[in-house]
Amino acid sequence: MKIFHTADWHLGKIVQGVHMTEDQRHVLEQLIEAARTERPDAVIVAGDLYDRAVPPTDAVRLLDDVLSEIVLDLGIPVIAVAGNHDSPNRLHFGSGFMKEKGFHMAGILERDAAPVILDDEHGEVHFHCLPFADPSVVRALYEDDSVTNHDEAMRCLLEHRCGNLDTAARHVLVGHAFVTPGAEPEENTSTSERPLSVGGAEYVDAGRFGKFHYTALGHLHRAHAVGNPLVRYSGSPLKYSISEETHNKGFLCVELDGEGRVSAEHRPLVPRRDMRTVEGTLAEVLEMPHSEDYVFVRLLDETPVLYPMERMRSVFPNALHVSRVMPVRPDATDKPARRMDEMDDAGMFRAFHEEITGSAPDEETEELFRSVLDELLANEHETVKEAVKR
Amino acid sequence: MKIFHTADWHLGKIVQGVHMTEDQRHVLEQLIEAARTERPDAVIVAGDLYDRAVPPTDAVRLLDDVLSEIVLDLGIPVIAVAGNHDSPNRLHFGSGFMKEKGFHMAGILERDAAPVILDDEHGEVHFHCLPFADPSVVRALYEDDSVTNHDEAMRCLLEHRCGNLDTAARHVLVGHAFVTPGAEPEENTSTSERPLSVGGAEYVDAGRFGKFHYTALGHLHRAHAVGNPLVRYSGSPLKYSISEETHNKGFLCVELDGEGRVSAEHRPLVPRRDMRTVEGTLAEVLEMPHSEDYVFVRLLDETPVLYPMERMRSVFPNALHVSRVMPVRPDATDKPARRMDEMDDAGMFRAFHEEITGSAPDEETEELFRSVLDELLANEHETVKEAVKR
């Protein structure tokens, strides 16, 4: 059985004020094209179909279009679960009608939902669909007070929903969670993933999925296997923050043979516009080749730059962000802070100049500072005298 | 063919701060029960399924429940169009999947949508579904600049979508519009219907529907035939404002025989709580029999009433509104207004008293006014004198 595993579409996402819908349509059309060519037996979307509970209507249209093409036109089932960004109830609407046409949407976490069962020449494959749910929801649903974090919630869910797997069938888990080896924190995160909870309570131990032939996960945006090659994130199909700059975006093509052995291959998707960092002085950046990419510009100029975004647009019309990178002296944090109240005005200025530029002000600069300060203080005295007169 | 015609469910409606979802479930369960007993061939919902574009999630659940019961459990097709309160895109989601299970949802106005075709022993019945659309949308969709109001929009839609009806079939139009005899204003309105546009541009001439065997309308909340017994509003299943107090709420059971002859019968739905006006002095109201109804209380007391809502709740725990009714003299508007600058203080007081209570003040009241006024004026003189001293 061939399965396309994808997740974290985040339809309706806005990055730095820019709607990503056209970028999303661009990569999802490649996914549809791959499905048309390769004819997988199923497409999994492991949560966060939308970026928010009430997505913009063009995102609703896009999802409807993509699902209709894959399921109705190509006849390939889609198996999806709600993620932490989705509204369970809104995504669940109509799922009773749609499943018989091949769109299996688990929006609401149901106590006793049956797996989606598909067949190939080797027999049945059971897809166990666990939409994202807060531990408090799981605790109430199964009346299990021991559920206090996401790892316990997963244990509880797997006990109740997958406690008694049919040994004649192969089993795939579809879930949306923050899974790490041994429920430990890890590095595979991006700023575009919304934390599920704080203080480590969000991690689920990858070891919990030992009984499945494959575990198709969503939530983390980098494609990777979690300790074990059978437990995988497909990653998002697009970069949704500059912290994902180095990710290879795409989807997974998973082959499940008759013995339940799995091979997973990452298939790249080509974005309409890449998202990347550009670094240099303004003069250097303005000499770079023109590009439509979504660039985050880091300016290295030491002197002020006026209207940097406007000037950047001549080279990078879709620049999303410009920042100034201030040089930091390597020993800046080692020095004991001097107390301000022990310094005179000139000393304070000298310390400030050193802090910002890394070197003491020269003679001329100190003289300029002194004359400006004197003038300001003189003016202040005048102002006070006039106020007293009135 | 037997058709249940209903409309204007307004799921998610809030009246005076009270969520109507349980009241809506209560009457829709009666609709489901009637469908179970009578086995109609179709149920029409002529727009405004939801009260707003983004309904609360419990309204989404309720709609999913009701549709699942009628279509999936009872096997009776539902044919629905979006109304002016609905979001076309959001309601349209998944319609491609759902129609084959028997839920036909026209959310977006499509240029060339085919009618929904159902059969009975006499042949085909074509349901032409026109979701609500603004004239500007119709004008753009069909590139017809003559469309400037709702009546023209309907003409244009009927020309393009129903210009060439199959004469061997029977035809039902399903629409959501403000239809009046001759596109004239009329009285059948309620404050819970949102105006479609202003200045008469919202009216559609009932004469436009002459070619249909039956026209099933939504928008106006009172069940009525528009000039012609073949063009009907089912009305809403519940009272959604006190201006609908005298409506008989329910749905229509429409029989369409093999010759295309129609009979329509109004079937009442019993609300969980009625919505009605209660009138009397506070003392009278507090003696009325206890009731859970949604009452709007009109208090006739001539003297001030403190905390009227709190006191009312002992008899009417679900009272939604309390107002004071001030007696108005029948001749109040006939008298020429007297000019204030021609009156002295006592004369002004006398006029005010007459205006408010309908009679001149008695001797004692005038005396009381004079003494209070004198005291106030004396105080004012003191205040002025003191201010001058400072």
Is pLDDT of A309 > 90?
no
pLDDT score for A78 = 98
Instruction: Give B7-61 pLDDT, tens digit per residue.
Output: 999 999 999 999 999 999 999 999 999 999 999 999 999 999 999 999 999 999 9
Instruction: Give B1-12 pLDDT, tens digit per residue.
Output: 999 999 999 999
Degrees, nearest 5: CA angle B174-B147-B51? 45
Instruction: Give B52-111 pLDDT, tens digit per residue.
Output: 999 999 999 999 999 999 999 999 999 999 999 999 999 999 998 999 899 999 999 999
Instruction: Decide: helix, strand or coil at residue A264.
Output: strand
B103·A97 Cβ contact <8 A: yes
Q: How big is chain B, counted in residues?
A: 390
pLDDT score for B303 = 79
**Are B224 and B218 a contacting pair, CB within 8 Å?**
no
Highest mean pLDDT among A281-290, A355-364, B351-360: A281-290
Mean pLDDT throughout A290-306?
A: 91
Percent of residues, chain A, with pLDDT higher than 70: 91
Is pLDDT of B230 > 90?
yes
Range A10-33 burial, b when 16+ CB lie within 10 A, else e: bbbbebeeeebbebbbbbbebbbe
Instruction: Give A167-187 pLDDT, tens digit per residue.
Output: 999 999 999 999 998 767 666
B132 Cβ under 8 Å from any chain A Cβ = no
Q: Which long-range contacts (CB under 8 A, 24 or more apart) does A324-328 make?
A: A324/A298, A324/A299, A325/A279, A325/A298, A325/A299, A325/A300, A326/A356, A327/A302, A327/A357, A327/A358, A328/A358
pLDDT score for A386 = 67
Q: How many Cβ pairs closer than 8 A exist between chain A and B?
A: 62
> What is d(CA A90, CA A59) in angstroms, rounded to the nearest whole number?
14
Degrees, nearest 5: CA angle A217-A223-A225? 65
Letter for the amino acid at B315?
V
Letter for the amino acid at A154?
M
**Are A76 and A103 a contacting pair, CB within 8 Å?**
no
Percent of residues, chain B, with pLDDT higher than 70: 91
Mean pLDDT throughout A87-109?
A: 93
Strand partners, B123: B120
Contact list in B for residue A98 (CB cut-off 8 A) is 94, 97-98
Residue B359 burial (C-beta neighbours within 10 Å; 0-12, 13-18, 19+) = exposed
Degrees, nearest 5: CA angle B225-B231-B235? 55
B97·A63 Cβ contact <8 A: no
pLDDT score for A201 = 76
A148 Cβ under 8 Å from any chain B Cβ = no
Is pLDDT of A381 > 80?
no
A94·B97 Cβ contact <8 A: yes
- Nearest Cα residue in chain A from B54: A54
Among B52, B63, B64, B78, the strongest candidate for a mutation testing the A interface, having the largest count of A CBs within 10 A, is B64
> What is d(CA A217, CA A205) in angstroms, rounded to the nearest whole number?
13
Contact list in A for residue B93 (CB cut-off 8 A) is 60, 63-64, 93-94
State the pLDDT confidence band at A389, using cuts at 50, 70 and 90.
Answer: low
pLDDT score for B354 = 82
ipTM: 0.72
Who wins on pLDDT, B345 or A218?
A218
**Are B7 and B234 a contacting pair, CB within 8 Å?**
yes
State the pLDDT confidence band at B252, using cuts at 50, 70 and 90.
Answer: very high
Beta strands (DSSP E) in chain A are 2-6, 14-15, 18-19, 42-46, 78-81, 103-106, 116-120, 123-130, 170-176, 178-180, 203-205, 214-218, 224-226, 228-233, 250-256, 262-268, 275-280, 294-299, 321-324
Q: What are phi and psi of B66, to 5 degrees?
A: -65, -45
How far apart, in Å, do the first and last CA atoms of chain A sit?
91
Mean pLDDT throughout B235-263?
A: 95
What's the mean pLDDT when you consider all of chain A? Answer: 90
Among A62, A66, A93, A137, the strongest candidate for a mutation testing the B interface, having the largest count of B CBs within 10 A, is A93
pLDDT score for A352 = 84
Indicate the residue of A57, A58, A64 with minimum beta-carbon distance to B94: A64
> What is d(CA A152, CA B241) in angstroms, rounded to the nearest whole number?
49
Is pLDDT of B334 > 60?
no
> What is d(CA B45, CA B80) in angstroms, rounded to the nearest whole number?
5
- Nearest Cα residue in chain A from B67: A94
Is pLDDT of B385 > 80?
no
B73 Cβ under 8 Å from any chain A Cβ = no
Is pLDDT of A380 > 80?
no
**Are B233 and B216 a contacting pair, CB within 8 Å?**
no
pLDDT score for A43 = 98
pLDDT score for A246 = 93
Is pLDDT of A331 > 70?
no
Q: State the DSSP H helix or E strand holding residue A140, giving kind and residue range, or none if neither.
A: helix A135-141
Is pLDDT of A325 > 60?
yes
Please count the other Cβ atoms lying within 10 Å of the Cβ belonging to residue B3. 24
DSSP code of B336? P
Is pLDDT of A291 > 80?
yes
Letter for the amino acid at B108?
I
Give CA torsion, residues B60, B65, B71, B73, to 10 deg. Answer: 160
Mean pLDDT throughout B168-175?
A: 97
> What is d(CA B61, CA A92) in angstroms, rounded to the nearest whole number?
9
pLDDT score for A182 = 75
Q: How big is chain A, counted in residues?
A: 390
The residues, ordered by sequence, that sit 6+ positions from A98 with a Cβ below 8 Å of its Cβ are A104, A105, B94, B97, B98
Is pLDDT of B384 > 80?
no
Letter for the amino acid at A247?
H
The residues, ordered by sequence, that sit 6+ positions from A280 with a Cβ below 8 Å of its Cβ are A288, A298, A299, A300
State the pLDDT confidence band at B159, using cuts at 50, 70 and 90.
Answer: very high
A101·B101 Cβ contact <8 A: yes
Instruction: Give A334-358 pLDDT, tens digit per residue.
Output: 555 566 667 788 888 888 888 777 7
The residues, ordered by sequence, that sit 6+ positions from B374 with a Cβ below 8 Å of its Cβ are none
Is pLDDT of B333 > 70?
no
Instruction: Give A191-201 pLDDT, tens digit per residue.
Output: 777 777 766 67
The residues, ordered by sequence, that sit 6+ positions from B110 with a Cβ below 8 Å of its Cβ are none
DSSP code of A337? P
* Residue position matching structure tokens 């609709």: B31
Contact list in A for residue B76 (CB cut-off 8 A) is none
pLDDT score for A340 = 67
Instruction: Give B267-277 pLDDT, tens digit per residue.
Output: 999 999 999 99
* Residue position matching structure tokens 């688990």: A106
pLDDT score for A194 = 77
Instruction: Give A25-50 pLDDT, tens digit per residue.
Output: 999 999 999 999 999 999 999 999 99
Instruction: Decide: helix, strand or coil at residue B147.
Output: coil
Mean pLDDT throughout A127-142?
A: 95
pLDDT score for B1 = 96
Indicate the residue of B90, B96, B97 with minimum beta-carbon distance to A60: B90
pLDDT score for A388 = 62
Strand partners, A117: A126
